[in-house]
Amino acid sequence: MRIGFLSTVDPRDPGAISGMPFNMRRELSRLGEVVDLTPSPLPLVPAWAQVRRLAPARWRRACRELLGRAERQRPPPMVTAGAVLAHSAAESLRVRALLARRPVDVLFGCCVSTLLYRLETSVPIVYASDTTARLLQGSYPDFTARPAEYRAACELVERTGMDRAAHVVLATRLARRSAIRDFGVPAARAHAVPLGANVHPAAPHAAPPPIAPPSRHDLRLAFIGLDPVRKRLDLAVEAVEALRAAGWAARLEVIGRPTPRAERSPWVTCLGPLDLASPLDRRAHAQALLRAHVLLLPSLAEAYGIAPCEAAHHGRPSVVSDAGGLPEVVLDGETGAVVPVEAGARDLADAVLSLVADRARYQQVSQAALRRAHEVLSWDRWREAVALLLDDAVTGARSARAA
């Protein structure tokens, strides 16, 4: 099977769009030949990744700081409806031109409604995403403040793209319901298939190395997130302070951009953003999870929740808010704890204590998290589910042509 892979970003970049295109392309390559159909010019990711592997740690840190500063100073994107529709039309026409030169049996796209907007083709399409435009624009601060016409144009593009797909694959049941309710996708064509982790232990299916259980004298928490405001790093720092006030020697290790409060806290270690294209940074990411007892992620909005998925693969439970897909990644009381998004620092601290105060309870929840990571939150399981949908899409297209 020749699978045309559609993406708006370079699918060779393991950090783009939470790693979804990279991981999905890798899994699809195990099912057949993958033909890249990304319309925009691709950056030189392999060459840059090689530089990152060889560069000294201080150079990598300096580059991350410069990139983070540039990101914060970047001018806001164009938010007019006309710009959205014009860009989507141009990109989808470029995909059609690529497709004419590179015939495939089926198209698979990750977060590519813009590329499907004006794509007229007889090739069957399977469309995947972690959320829908309605959910994203109703919860993520970057989108809720944009004009209503812009949001309506994005929803029009998404509805058109989903209409063209033989199957729509969403990461959560919440997103599947939105696709059916908000975008008119027939229930038989909408599927909830959980995603896997970006970072695994050295042996992905082996048990992680043992860790000394949490105690009043040693309680280590981890926080992972590039957006410290949306993921509420300062609230996590406040929860650490509440735990210490309750007599627990809690410390927090942060992967991602720090806040001034996190940098000032004597109980917080900031590792900065880690680059998943760098083997050294991937190792540091995994080691941070192995050092932690619990992952803390009290996000205001979250499409899925890759970080608690990664924690589960390392045998660590998570305490998360009930934003977006997080309650589907972390099962409250089984693989971690889920608190209301309105919860304060004391509530988060209490949720952590509900997992760690009793050693037997902590071991039970940790083992349940690891078991669910292997059985559900796995790219192997994702590939198995998507393989059936790709086969069905190809078979359906052949039957339609024969008729």
What does the domain layout of the chain look like in residue ranges? Answer: 2-195+378-402, 219-375
Amino acid at 295: L
**Confidence at residue 400, expressed as pLDDT on a 0 to 100 scale:** 80
CATH topology for 219-375 is Rossmann fold (3.40.50)
CB atoms closer than 10 angstroms to residue 193: 18
**Two tokens at 297?**
């992620």
Q: What torsion, rounded to 10 degrees, do the Cα atoms 24, 25, 30, 34 define?
A: 140
CB atoms closer than 10 angstroms to residue 220: 19
Q: Could you tell me if 241 and 345 are in contact, meaning their C-beta atoms sit under 8 angstroms apart?
A: yes
CB atoms closer than 10 angstroms to residue 79: 16
Name which of 284, 241, 289, 285 is nearest 261 in CA terms. 241
Q: How far is residue 355's CA from residue 348's CA, in Å, rounded to a whole number?
A: 11
Residues 6+ apart with CB under 8 A from 388: none
What angle, 0 to 180 degrees and rounded to 10, lies between the N-to-C axes of helices 359-375 and 345-356?
A: 90
**Two tokens at 261?**
């409060």
Task: Give the HSE-up count for residue 232: Cα atoms under 13 Å, Cβ half-sphere.
Answer: 24
Residue bearing tokens 């998570």:
318
3-state secondary structure (DSSP) of residue 184: coil
Q: What Rg value do the Cα atoms of the chain yield, rounded?
A: 22
Q: How far is residue 157's CA from residue 113's CA, in Å, rounded to a whole number?
A: 6
What angle, 0 to 180 degrees and rounded to 10, lies between the N-to-C axes of helices 345-356 and 233-245?
A: 60
Residue 211 burial class via C-beta count within 10 angstroms: exposed 0-12, middle 13-18, buried 19 and up: middle
In this structure, are strands 33-36 and 294-297 parallel, antiparallel, or unpaired?
unpaired
Q: How far is residue 108's CA from residue 182's CA, in Å, rounded to a whole number?
A: 22
Q: How far is residue 345's CA from residue 361's CA, in Å, rounded to a whole number?
A: 22
Amino acid at 226: L
CA distances from 227 to 71, 156, 166, 244, 273 (A): 11, 27, 34, 25, 10
CB atoms closer than 10 angstroms to residue 51: 14
**Confidence at residue 160, expressed as pLDDT on a 0 to 100 scale:** 95
**pLDDT tens track of the chain, all 403 residues?**
999 999 999 998 998 999 999 999 999 999 999 999 988 654 444 444 444 444 555 555 555 555 454 444 444 455 688 888 998 999 999 999 999 999 999 999 999 999 999 999 999 999 999 999 999 999 988 888 888 898 999 999 999 999 999 999 999 999 999 999 999 999 999 999 999 999 988 766 667 777 889 999 999 999 999 999 999 999 999 999 999 999 999 999 999 999 999 999 999 999 999 998 888 999 999 999 999 999 999 999 999 999 999 999 999 999 999 999 999 999 999 999 999 999 999 999 999 999 999 999 999 999 999 999 999 999 999 999 999 999 999 998 888 877 7
User: Does 2-195+378-402 carry CATH code 3.40.50.2000?
Assistant: yes
**Does the predicted TM-score (pTM) go above 0.85?**
yes
Instruction: Decide if 2-195+378-402 and 219-375 have a common fold.
Output: yes
Q: What's the angle, vertex CA 204, arms to CA 322 and CA 212, rounded to 5?
A: 70
Residues 6+ apart with CB under 8 A from 90: none
**Confidence at residue 397, expressed as pLDDT on a 0 to 100 scale:** 83
CA distances from 94 to 7, 40, 54, 166, 321 (A): 12, 9, 36, 21, 40
| DSSP alpha helix (H) spans, 112-268 | 113-116, 133-139, 141-144, 148-164, 173-183, 233-245, 260-264
Would you give the DSSP letter of residue 361? H
